[in-house]
Amino acid sequence: MAGISSAQVRSLFAQEAEGRLAQLSQLLLQLEQTADEEALVRSIFREIHTIKGSSAVAGLDDVSRIAHGLEELVDNLRTGERPVTAEVIDTLLRGADELNEAINPPPNGDRVAVSIEAAPDAAPATRQDQVADGGSGGSRAVAVSNGVAPPTSRPANSALPEGGRAAVISVPVERLDELTRLVGETASAHLRIGRMLKDRFKIDPATSAEFNELSRLLNDLQDRAMRTQMVPISTITDQLHRAVRDLARAQGKNVRWEARGTETELDRGVLHKLSDSLVHLVRNAVDHGIELPDERRRAGKDPQATVRLHAMQLGSEVIIAVTDDGQGIDVAGVTRQANGRGIDTEGMTQEEILDLTFHAGLSTTQFVTDVSGRGVGLDVVRTKVESAHGRVEVRSEWGAGTEFRIIVPITTAVLRCLLVEAGGQSFALPFHRVLVSKASDPTGVAHAEGRPVIRIEGHAVPVQALAETLGLSTGSVKRGPLVVLSDMARRHAFQVDRLIGQRDVVIKALSPLLPHLPAVAGASVEPDGSILVVLDPPGLIQRAKHANRTTGSKRSGERAPARRRSILVVDDALTIRELQRNILERAGFEVRVAMDGKQALSSLAEAPSDLVLTDIEMPNMDGFELTEAIRAHPTLANIPVLILSSRASADDRKRGLDAGADGYILKGRFDEASLLTAVNRLLGAST
């Protein structure tokens, strides 16, 4: 091919395939929920056929081979030789994953190919059957893998209008980032010019028509540049749909996925920060909230549950809600967990108790699984959302369902900020976190438990000097302006030296070489070249709370060091037993071991443990019998029991739950992080 190298051909093919794979995954997910099979199957065949042909031209034989196998399977669907079943869709989705991995191999070059073959005469399951029993895919083997899901949006250059002129073009993300950076630099230079006109030439910039025109043009440029970074929520909804579908099938649950408002746009960086949290929330809905079909029937519900994502823009913020119609959050259970961790819930509203589910170590379920115990809890969700200058709320009704609501600014590159002075330095506070700002110290400041407080909307809000919180001084609160900040769950008032004013601030991230500063969101360059630190209100509130606790502990005397938590590991396999012992001891736990259930009971009779970690298959007494014996023992009944087993069936999980186990993790999905997360959650410790 004259004029173009093979590398360029492959690059062009990769760009084309990105959009086609996204479309393919979307069509496959639609196929499972529609009665119009014929049209969708034709479209799926066309996408796969095009990928096969293009990959052959590009010289990508592996891609062409995988596409050929998928094409033959879809051809069987098209001709009616095979029905469309959930298992067939499983195979096609995994085949799309394999195509994506073959086109965009992982950095280490390792790919795990799994050959999945179904007997051609096997009785097919319907698409409504939600129990996954392996991936059957057709009469021919198709190589698939557990690769990364394909991208979820067609690239910009995939659409050409009738005239042949490109309506949109692909632009590398790095160029957009550079454009945004330069616009920010230009805005800073503009401020410096205004300062120079005033200081050097004694000209008020506001009276200069030329300066005002430049200001207007720069504002327009900044607005357009920020819009280039905007992407619709739909770019991640297929990934979320896939997560719901796969987990529902694995757990034998019947779940319908709905997405609304997906055309709502959000800053690319913000959406990237939220993607993992949204995946966790939809998986959390299926794992913790949605009941099995028979349970829903007994409760008078439709056996098919619904998980819904709804996005909308409200002013300068975007709201993304994840809702399910499952069993809801057990408020009484959360209260018991909180009380067990020393949290005083007396007088708390239901909303405040539900908010406790975002605390590390508290879970929306008492039963830990390899889905809920993989190291990403609701505390991590809140942390990630707050890193995007957002907040997350939860509403739930027992028996009816739960809604998690994420609220974030459309962009974090430019934020409206309140500028304040504290300790002789200027700071910026994101304005959407400012609840109240008062230019003078109100007479309502009082003292409670030795600390100053102010009443806001009937609630006592603690007051602390901002300079003291930041370590710039150790003085007490003096008369001066107060700024009340909120992170939805908490409110805190900070006394400052003076209020400077409001303005849009171009925020830049701090260098990754710097240590993590939880109270700092970023920085901006002032017109005089100085650095304006942008504070992070949630981190600032947390720092103030910690300072109060530290001060209180000094007043009441030092406490004795906390006792090491003890764990009894029960497994007849020496390798597994010692691996678990090693992991837990390095994490600071005191560990004992037993080879079977009978030995474990004898050990517990001598000295109870804080938690029992047990296998199922063991001589003399298995893990189920051990769990039942612990629950029946008058002094051991409250010890948490975590089962770690290779038995993966739903019946075994149910038997473990019925026996009284508090968690069940598969050995095949076991790793250090998941084990420690599950253990810490059951012990009520911070993960």
Same domain? 237 vs 276 = yes
Structural domain contains residue 166: no
> DSSP letter string over 373-409?
TSS--HHHHHHHHHHTT-EEEEEEETTTEEEEEEEEE
Same domain? 498 vs 437 = yes
Same domain? 392 vs 525 = no
Structural domain contains residue 673: yes
What integer pLDDT is reported at residue 174 of this predicted model? 79
Q: How far is CA 74 from the centre of its chain?
A: 34
What integer pLDDT is reported at residue 669 of this predicted model? 62
What integer pLDDT is reported at residue 634 of this predicted model? 87
Domain closes at, from 409, 434, 457? 409
* pLDDT mean by block of 10 residues, the chain; 687 residues: 61 79 86 79 86 78 87 87 88 89 68 37 39 33 34 37 52 79 78 84 87 85 81 90 91 93 88 89 92 94 95 81 93 84 81 82 56 57 81 89 89 80 89 71 57 78 88 65 78 90 77 61 72 84 69 47 82 75 84 91 92 90 94 91 85 89 78 78 64
pTM of the complete model: 0.55
CATH number for the domain spanning 486: value is: 2.40.50.180
Same domain? 95 vs 75 = yes
Structural domain contains residue 161: no
Domain closes at, from 367, 385, 409? 409
Written in H, E and C, the secondary structure of 164-203 is CCCCCCCCCHHHHHHHHHHHHHHHHHHHHHHHHHHHHCCC
Q: Which of 446, 474, 480 is nearest to 461 (CA)?
A: 446
Cα dihedral across residues 315, 321, 325, 329: positive or negative:
negative
Sequence-separated (6 or more) residues with CB below 8 Å from residue 569: 577, 580, 581, 584, 591, 592, 593, 594, 613, 614
**Structural domain boundaries, residue 26:** 6-148
Same domain? 584 vs 616 = yes
What integer pLDDT is reported at residue 252 of this predicted model? 92
Structural domain contains residue 72: yes
* pLDDT tens-digit readout, 520-571: 877 887 766 677 888 888 778 878 876 665 455 444 444 445 568 999 999 8
Same domain? 535 vs 509 = yes
Structural domain contains residue 542: yes
Pairing type for strands 305-314 and 255-260 reads parallel
Same domain? 91 vs 179 = no
Cα-based angle 533, 539, 541 (whole degrees, multiple of 5): 110
Structural domain contains residue 160: no
Q: Which of 157, 129, 134, 62 is nearest to 100 (CA)?
A: 62
Structural domain contains residue 155: no
As a whole number of angstroms, the distance between CA 130 and CA 254 comes to 5
* pLDDT tens-digit readout, 194-207: 888 888 888 888 88
Alpha helices in 201-328 (DSSP H): 209-228, 234-250, 268-284, 293-298
Same domain? 399 vs 460 = no
What integer pLDDT is reported at residue 566 of this predicted model? 93
Domain closes at, from 409, 439, 471? 409
What integer pLDDT is reported at residue 106 of this predicted model? 65
CATH number for the domain spanning 109: value is: 1.20.120.160
CATH number for the domain spanning 610: value is: 3.40.50.2300
Sequence-separated (6 or more) residues with CB below 8 Å from residue 474: 468
Buried b (16+ CB within 10 A) or exposed e, 219-257: eeebeebbeebebbbbbbbbbbbbbbbbbbbbbebbbbb
Same domain? 505 vs 570 = no
CATH number for the domain spanning 364: value is: 3.30.565.10
Same domain? 387 vs 324 = yes
* Structure-block tokens of residue 23: 């479309």
User: How crowded is the C-beta side of 479, counted as CA atoms within 13 Å?
Assistant: 4
> Are the C-beta atoms of 503 and 429 separated by less than 8 Å?
no
Same domain? 372 vs 475 = no
Same domain? 425 vs 458 = yes
> Are the C-beta atoms of 614 and 643 separated by less than 8 Å?
yes
Structural domain contains residue 158: no
* Structure-block tokens of residue 388: 């995007």
What integer pLDDT is reported at residue 509 of this predicted model? 66
Query: Which residues, in sequence order, are bridge partners of residue 418?
Result: 429, 502
Q: Which of 49, 56, 48 is nearest to 9 (CA)?
A: 56
Q: How far is CA 191 from the centre of its chain?
A: 38
Domain count of the chain? 5
Diameter of the chain by CA atoms? 93
